[in-house]
Amino acid sequence: MSDHWLRLEGAITALVTPFKDGKVDTVGLMSLVECQIRHGISAIVACGTTGESATLSRAERRMVIERCVEVAEKNVPVIAGTGTNCTETTVELTTEAKTLGSDAALIVAPYYNKPSQEGIYRHYEAVVRAVDLPVIVYNVPSRSGVDIAPRTLERLAQLPGVVGIKDATGDVGRFLASSPSIKAQLCHFSGNDQTALPFNLCGGHGTISVAANVVPRLMVSLHHAITTGNAQAAVAIHQRLQPLFIALERETNPGPIKYALHLARGLSPDVRLPLTTVSPETAAEIRSALEPLAEVRSASHASPSLPLALAS
C-alpha cells in the first residue's frame, strides 16, 4: 500500500447524483462537490450506491466522474464506483475511470450471481491485473447477496492494487476480529454512518458516509475528534447526528439523503425507478432531524420550502 493511501482517512462522501427533469443535474453536482471540498472532506465517491450507479448509463457515468475530477482538481481523491456483477464490464468501467482521472475504484462484490468465495477472489484478481488503479473492496451483503468472508479478504489483501475495504456489514465485532496483518495492509472504512463512531474508535481509518452529503462539516469534526483522541467530543457529535443517521435509513438509500439535500440545498429529491421518493412520514422525520443542526440551519442556499441549507 502506498504512502498516499496510508494518509487517506476520515470522512469520505458517498456522493449522490442529482437529477433535474430526468437528467443528471451537472450544476447541482459540481456545486455539491465544491461544498464537500470546502468543508474538509477527505475524498469523494462518485457513481457508488448512493450515486445510483445501477441506473446511470455509461455516458452518464463518464460525465459524473469527469465533473467530479474537474472540480476536485486533485485537491481531494476521487474514488469511482466501478463494480458490477460482470467481471468483464467491471474491468471496462475501471479502465475508463482511470482514463478519466479517478484516483481509485470502489468495487462492490458481484451481486445477484451469488459467486463462491473463489469466484469473488478471481473477480477482484482479474480487475487489479487488468487495470493499474488502486481498488477499495466493497462488502455490502445486504445489497449484494454475498458476503466476502474474512479469509477471502485476507487473500485479496495480498493482491497488488487492493488498498482498502469498505465494510458495510454493520458488524464492528467483525472488524475487531480481523487479523493484525489485514488491519496493517488495508485501509478500513465503515460503510455505515451509525457505526462510524465505534468502528473508528476501534482503529478504523474513516467512514464512507451518506450523511456527509448534507452535514460534511459535522462528519469531518467527528473524525477529527476521533483521530485526536477526544472521544468525549466524538460521542457528543455522534449523538447530535444520530437522529439524522436513523432517518436516512428509514427507506432505501439514496431516497432519504436526496430529500435531505432538497431541504438543505434545493436539489431535486428525485430518484430513478425502481426507487421512489420518500414517504411523507420519512420526509417529516428527516426534516425534524435536520432542524436542530446548526450546520444546515444557518446557511445561505435555503430551499424556499424550508430555511435549511449547508453552510457556505
pLDDT tens digits for range 23-66: 999 999 999 999 999 999 999 999 999 999 999 999 999 999 99
In whole numbers, what is the pLDDT of the chain averaged over residues? 93
pTM flag (> 0.85): yes
Whether the CB-CB separation of 286 and 278 falls below 8 Å is answered with: yes
The answer, yes or no, to whether residue 196 has pLDDT greater than 60, is yes
Residues 126, 109: Cα–Cα separation, whole Å: 13
The answer, yes or no, to whether residue 6 has pLDDT greater than 80, is no
Q: What's the pLDDT score for residue 179?
A: 86
Q: What's the pLDDT score for residue 183?
A: 87
Q: What's the pLDDT score for residue 7?
A: 59
% of the chain beyond a pLDDT of 90: 88
Q: What's the pLDDT score for residue 8?
A: 83
Active site positions, annotated: 138, 166
User: What dihedral do alpha carbons 187, 191, 193, 198 form, nearest 10°?
Assistant: -50
Cell numbers placing 247: 432517518
50 a known binding residue?
Answer: yes
Mean pLDDT of 284-307: 69
Q: Extract the runs of DSSP E, i.e. beta strands, from 27-156.
A: 43-46, 78-81, 104-108, 135-139
Assign 294 a pLDDT band (cuts: 50, 70, 90).
Answer: low
Please report which helix (H) or strand (E) contains residue 166, including its range: strand 162-167
228 a known binding residue?
Answer: no
Query: Partners of 139 in the beta sheet?
Result: 167
Residues 184, 274: Cα–Cα separation, whole Å: 40
Cell numbers placing 114: 451469488
pLDDT tens string 146-187: 999 999 999 999 999 999 999 999 999 999 998 888 888 999
Query: Partners of 207 in the beta sheet?
Result: 11, 190
